[in-house]
Amino acid sequence: MKKTTFSFILSSLILIAVFTPRVLAQTSVSLAAIPPRLEISAQPGETIQATIKVRNDSETELVVKTEVEDFIVKDDQGTPVPVKQEVSGRWSLASWVYLSPKQTILKPKTTQVISLVITVPADALPGGHYAMIVHSPLNEANLGGSGATIAQKVGTLIYLDVAGKINEDTNLLKFEAVPPLAEYGPIKLITQIQNLSDVHIKPIGQITISNLFSQKSASLPLEQVNIFPFQSRTYENEFSGKWHFGRYKAELEAAYGKSGQVVTGLIYFWIIPWKIITAAVLGLIIIIVLILIIAKKNKKNQPKPDQTTPTPPAETPEINSPQA
C-alpha cells in the first residue's frame, strides 16, 4: 500500500515538473492599431502622405512586421478579410501604398509611427479603393526559442476615395417586421441595404413607427456603419414594449452619398392580444346569456292578474204609455 502511494506521488511530481514550465512560458501578445480606420480623398495622379501607429500593449518586447494587403468583404456585417493576391483593379489599393518602416522592434508599452506614401495612378478609376495595413508579431523573436505565444494580428483599414464621376445607388433587399402579426411586443425590424455605388456609403437615417391614428409611437435610428461597393448590410432594430394594440406603420428613410440620395421603405404590422380579447368577449357573452336566462325566469314566476266576470248592465224598466 505504501509502495503504491509513493509511486503515485512520484508520478504526480514528474508530471508537474514536465508540464509546468510550458504553461508558465506562454506569453500573451497584444497589439493595437491606431487608428482602426483611415479615410482619404485624392485626385488621379496625386501622391498622398499619411501616418498610422502600432502600439505594443504586451509586457514583453516584440518584433513587429507591417505589410499592406487588399481585402474583401464576404458577409453582410462588413467583416474585412485580407487577401494576399491582388483583388479587382476596380477596388484594389495595396499596390499604390509604400510603408516605412516595414519591421520594427517595440519595447513594452511603446508606440511606433508608420509612414504611408500613396501614389494614385493618373488613370485610376474614380470611386473607392481599399486596403489593410496589417501588423503581426514575429513569434521566433518573441519567444527566444522556448515556450508558446498567443499571437495577435491587428490592422488599420484604408479607404481611399478617388475623385471623379461616380455612380451612387442602393437596393433595399429587405425591410420586414418579425413577426408581422404578434400578440405582444417587442417587434424586430430587419433592414438589409445593398450598395450599388462605386464607393462605400454610410446610410444615416431612422425608422419611424406610427399607430393606427397616425400618431408617432417610436423613432429607431439606423446604426451608422459603412457598406462596401456591391455588398449589403443588415440592420436590426426593435420596437420595444409589451403592451400595444392595432395596426402599426413603419417608415424607413436613410440618406447616403455625396449627392444626398435617399433609400425609403414602408411596411405594416399588427399587435393584437387576441387571447385577452377572446377571453373578454367570451366573458361578455356568458354574462349576457345569464342575464337573459334570469330575466326569462323572473318573468315566468310573476303572478297572473285575476280574471272576474263582468256585471251585466241593469235592465231599463219599460214605461207603459197611458191608454186613451
Query: Domains in the chain and their CATH numbers?
Result: 26-162 (2.60.40.10), 170-271 (2.60.40.3880)
Q: What is the pLDDT of residue 12?
A: 45
Sheet holding 31-34, edge to edge: 31-34, 47-56, 111-119, 97-100
pTM of the model: 0.73
Residue 233 phi/psi, 5-degree rounding, is -135, 135
Cα(242)–Cα(183) distance, integer angstroms: 9
Confidence band, pLDDT 50/70/90 cuts, at residue 16: very low
Q: Where are the alpha helices (DSSP H) in the chain?
A: 2-24, 139-143, 274-301
pLDDT at position 284 = 87
159 and 225 Cβ atoms separated by less than 8 Å: no
Mean pLDDT of 264-289: 89
Residue 227 and residue 202 in contact, taking contact as beta carbons nearer than 8 Å: yes
Give per-residue pLDDT as tens, 37-72.
999 999 999 999 999 999 999 889 999 999 999 988
168, 151, 236: which is closest to 202 by C-alpha?
Answer: 168
Could you tell me the pLDDT band of residue 314, with boundaries at 50, 70 and 90? low
Grid cell 462588413 in the structure block, residue: 78
Give, in degrees to the nearest 5, the angle at Cα 155 between 154 and 157: 155
Q: Is the pLDDT of residue 316 over 90?
A: no
Strand 127-137 and strand 62-73: the pairing is: antiparallel
Q: What is the pLDDT of residue 85?
A: 62
Q: Report pLDDT for 315.
A: 58
Distances (CA, A) of 275 to 129, 166, 246, 271: 56, 55, 14, 12
CB atoms inside a 10 Å sphere around CB 73: 20
Computed from CA positions of residues 305, 311, 312, 316, in that sequence, does the dihedral angle turn out positive or negative? negative
Joined together, the cell numbers standing for residue 130 give 481599399
Give the percent of the chain with pLDDT over 70: 79
In this predicted model, which residue has the larger pLDDT, 287 or 74? 287
Find the distance separating the first CA and the last CA of the chain, reported in whole Å.
168
**Rounded CA separation 35/155 (Å):** 9
Cβ-contact 192, 166 below 8 angstroms = no
Kindly state the average pLDDT of the residues 110-120: 96
